[in-house]
Amino acid sequence: MTPATLELYVRAGCHLCDEFLLDFSLDHPGLLDAVETRDVDAETALAQEFGLRVPVLKIDGHVACEGRYDRDKVATALGL
């Protein structure tokens, strides 16, 4: 099952965000183009919602994983 929406909330200069994206891309290279990366500092509403809680991966609007990449949580959320 391919999720309708993959959103990764990040901020510039965040090493956890960079690691998350790298690990995700290694596990799911075919889905990388489907990930919409959103900078939480680019929009006031996102900055208020996420604060320092980045990276956050939402799949179909639900938080699948945040902080560090969790292979099992992401696989479960993707239905793999």
pLDDT in tens, 14-68: 999 999 999 999 998 888 888 999 999 999 999 999 988 999 999 999 999 999 9
Domain with 55, as residue range(s), is: 6-78
Predicted TM-score (pTM) above 0.95: no
CATH number at residue 17: 3.40.30.10
Q: Token digits for 70?
A: 């969790």
Q: How many Cβ atoms are within 10 Å of 14's Cβ, its own excluded?
A: 17
Please give the tally of structural domains in the chain.
Answer: 1
50 in any annotated domain: yes
SS3 57: strand
pLDDT at residue 41 in the model? 94
65 in any annotated domain: yes
63 in any annotated domain: yes
Q: Token digits for 30?
A: 């075919």
1 in any annotated domain: no
